[in-house]
Structure 1
Amino acid sequence: MTAPYNYKQCQSLFGYSFDVHIRSSGTCQLCGCGGENLTFDLWRQMTVEHIIGKSQGGYLKEIRLVVAERFPDLDSVEREFLSKEIDAVNTVTACSFCNSTTSRDSNTISMSDLIRTSMGSPSEVVSQIASALQPILERKRSDVQWKLESVRKAYEANFLSALSAGERVAS
């Protein structure tokens, strides 16, 4: 008998993103697919969307560096906790389509700048960052809706008609 596949190797579902998917209730935070209508086939296409991406310091590794710079008086456990809190407000569940269509987005402010310019205690900084991320997330949602309208029209006009006509693409 063959041993079952180690599902924990699916990092985008069970690893670093598991808590993100639970927090998002299995719903793409950009287009809204999933949620109550979530199926296994759709769920396995879910991934993590960084509201502010890697190129602008939005990944945990970069967040840790800036948090250490911004809060040198915190001990390592407190800095790690704060870094993970910031990472949590910066990550949401996204379907593969939404993630790929927003992957090159650039924002007017980087995560590093948000961390450096936010005032107050660590919890106040997290709150300010969360507030600053909301308009970015809303802009991404709007952009995704615009793209989905065009893609849906092309799907209906091109793909479905080709499929019903029995056309096949050579592999």
Structure 2
Amino acid sequence: MGALRSSDNLSQDHVWQSAHLVRKAPGVSKAFHALSRLPSMWATKSFNFLTDVRKCFCDEEVQNYIWAIVHQWEEITLQWDDRVVPCINVKSIDSLQSRAPHFSEHDQDFIERQFQQSQIFPQLEDPALREKVETAIRRQGPILTLSNVLPRVTENHLCRKFEGYFDYKHV
């Protein structure tokens, strides 16, 4: 498990306290624990965020969504490479989230420009490593966000809950 970086101005205690809020759902807690490798992902989240996650009663969906984020960033960081992870900052994450470079030429061009201008992962200076990370990013479909976890999960949960209810038999 990668170490948390102090450069993110986010203490390890904050992450663990946040994850503690979802402890009653062990799978969700494990997923958030895995995501703690990216403290920059948490920098803009409050305790209310995880309280809302806990209250949504969609544990399986939340767990799957968080694991999808973990696996996506595992690929972007080249399997949690210790030379890459410390270079991930909030601005870079914000720039990438909700983009779909695999499907969008516009997003591919944006990412290429941002990398050329060192706007994404500016502390990652090794050219070969930057190229590998950029390639990993370009392979991504939609880059998932923590901000969208609740709307996506609750929407999916409600769709499944009422699946078939609104067909012609009930109208």
TM-score > 0.5 by shorter chain: no
- Structure showing the higher strand proportion among its residues: 1
TM-score, structure 1 normalization: 0.31
TM-score, structure 2 normalization: 0.31
